[in-house]
Structure 1
Amino acid sequence: MTQSTTSHTPTITLVTGGSRGLGRNTALSIAKGGGDVILTYRSQAAEAQAVVAEIEALGRRAVALQLDTGDITTFASFGHNLGALLQETWQRDRFDHLVNNAGHGDYAAFATTSEAQFDHLVNVHFKGVFFLTQALLPLIVDGGRIVNFSTGLTRLSLPGYSAYAAAKGAVEVLTRYLAKELGARGITVNTVAPGAIETDFGGGVVRDNPELNQHLAHMTALGRVGLPDDIGPMVAGLLAPANRWVTAQRIEVSGGQAL
């Protein structure tokens, strides 16, 4: 069967939601390790192009494509455009790694969560991951990698995130099933579950609320909340050849939060 690209040939990784936050950091970490990157963005075209420029400054190739991961109807055309891009830019018909990172936070108590909020969270964080991965399977090399982002909130409960955490819990179950079903192709599938991180996620609440920041720091073994640089390099490492035997795992990257 077709194997993933060898060490002297740069890998190609598709990172959804790569224009900001953990997606941006992951894309840059992959580039620093010698990989090429295709990143998607929903509406932040300028920010996405800035990431492309940063990656190119590192000597790697990068392209940004628009994609709303909550709009399943666009996935077939996205896959077609991606295939054409691979041929035009890399003279290849497949890519190596898929990182399903794109997402958003929506704080609401269970009793007041609306159907619209629920549907948006599920469409982006679960249904979108399911059907985008399905649509892109023919373009992923045998021996490739899939990483799905989850959250520390699937292990501990923080009121106000029931719908978000439930959608991520579904992704964790899906990850195990994908690992089983895609194992025959040599594709590994894992979940990375960040703890509290200082980004603009959820309106930047962890970063910008000093009281919450300190509360979370005090309940973390390493004594602080996380930074994007704590997550992106870990994901890049998981994609490296040395981790070829890791699959179907939920890897929490939280500094020991709520032990």
Structure 2
Amino acid sequence: MAKITLVTGANRGLGRNTALSIAHHGGDVIVAHRGNEAQAQEVVSEIRALGCKAIALQLDVSKIAGFSAVVGLLRASLRETWGRETFDHLINNAGHGEFAMIGETTEAQFDGLFDVHVKGVFFLVQALLPLIADGGRIVNFSSGLTRVSYAGFSAYAAAKGAVEVLTVYMAKELGARGITVNTVAPGAIETDFGGGLVRDNAEVNTQFAGMTALGRVGVPDDIGPMVASLLGDDNRWVTAQRIEVSGGQTI
């Protein structure tokens, strides 16, 4: 029986790549998205074309008050599509970046980052715990910026640092249920993150490539397949770890 993975922010970027990589490994996917139904349905169609089951689920991780309704919809979808009461894996990928120096960062920017990357992750896991199968997996996305500083990302990196601490505590508390919890920390990746800063700004791209042992910045195909492999049985004994996937950035 195929495993079922819920990926937040799966309609684009690293979330989309992760969802498709999981399907390439034979897994079914719940494509969670904040509101771009058209993009989400495109991903669903691609997954189904690979012979796997998929559904789209609208989920804004910053709207904690709406989580109970999402849980109800998810419970119904699991029964209707899979005849199950639970799913197996949760990938907390959804997020955004704010590029601002400390002196110019607004309270709204700061709160927005922590609402999505920290509060959203914490309370989404809390809400979904009854639906995550024993022996399941949780993967939280962090960033290489928690290890290596880059001016302008202080608030974002602080939020991701909190995610890494949460990961360790989740692994401790959920271990009794056989649920592993790990952090994946990408380095600089060519996506639309931060307005496409790494992808579209040649100077920034070159700067990060020069910091990286493998001589380039990353692309989504460097990340999604790694996350998919982390969900496999070969990695069942890996938990509470921060796994950096950066091509050797600043080593």
State the TM-score, normalized to the length of structure 1.
Answer: 0.96
Q: Deviations over 1:77-125 (max 9, x none)?
A: 1111101110010000000000000000111111111111111100000
Provide the rounded CA distance (Å) in 1 between the counterparts of 2:111 and 2:83. 39
The SS at the match of 1:204 is helix
Equivalent in the alignment of 2:99 = 107
CA RMSD of aligned residues (A): 0.6
- Correspondence for 1:201: 193
The residue number in structure 2 matching 1:215 is 207
Q: CA deviation at 1:205?
A: 1.0
Counterpart of 2:151, as a letter, is P
Match of 2:81 in 1: 89
Give yes or no for the alignment of 1:183 onto 2:181: no
Give 3-state SS (helix, strand or coil) of 1:97's partner.
Answer: strand
* CA displacement at 1:210 relative to structure 2: 1.0
Shift of 1:44: 1.5
Q: Which residue of 1 aligns with 2:237?
A: 245
Per-residue deviation at 1:237?
0.3
Measure how far apart 1:133 and its partner are: 0.4
Alpha-carbon deviation of 1:137? 0.3
In structure 2, C-alpha distance between the alignment counterparts of 1:157 and 1:43, rounded to whole Å? 32
**2:112 is the counterpart of 1:120:** yes
Partner AA of 1:103 in structure 2: G
Partner of 2:152: 160
The one of 59, 63, 68 equivalent to 1:71 is 63
Out of 156, 161, 166, which is 1:174 matched to? Answer: 166
Aligned to 2:73, the other structure's residue is in SS state helix
Partner of 1:192: 184
Post-superposition shift, 1:214?
A: 1.0
Distance of 2:222 and 2:154 partners within structure 1: 25
The Cα of 1:43 is off from its aligned counterpart by 2.1
List 4+ stretches of structure 1 deviating above 6 A. Answer: none
Segments of 5+ residues of structure 2 without an aligned counterpart are none
Alpha-carbon distance in structure 2 between the residues aligned to 1:45 and 1:107: 27
Structure 1 residue runs without a partner (length 5+): 1-8
Deviation at 1:39, TM superposition (A): 1.2
Deviations 1:45-74 (A, max 9, x none): 111110011001101111111111111101
In the alignment, what sits opposite 1:134?
126
User: 1-side partners of 2:56 and 2:193: how far apart?
Assistant: 21
Q: Secondary structure at the match of 1:245?
A: coil
Please say if 1:98 is aligned against 2:82.
no
Superposed CA deviations along residues 173-218 of structure 1, whole A, max 9, x for unmatched, are: 0000000000000000000000000001111110111111111111
- State which drifts further: 128-137 or 43-52: 43-52
Find the aligned partners of 1:87 and 1:43 in 2 and give their Cα distance. 23
Partner SS for 1:76: helix
Amino acid at match of 1:160: G
Return the alpha-carbon distance in structure 2 between the equivalents of residues 144 and 68 of structure 1: 23
Count of aligned residue pairs for this structure pair:
251
Given the two structures, how large is their TM-score scaled by the length of structure 2? 0.99
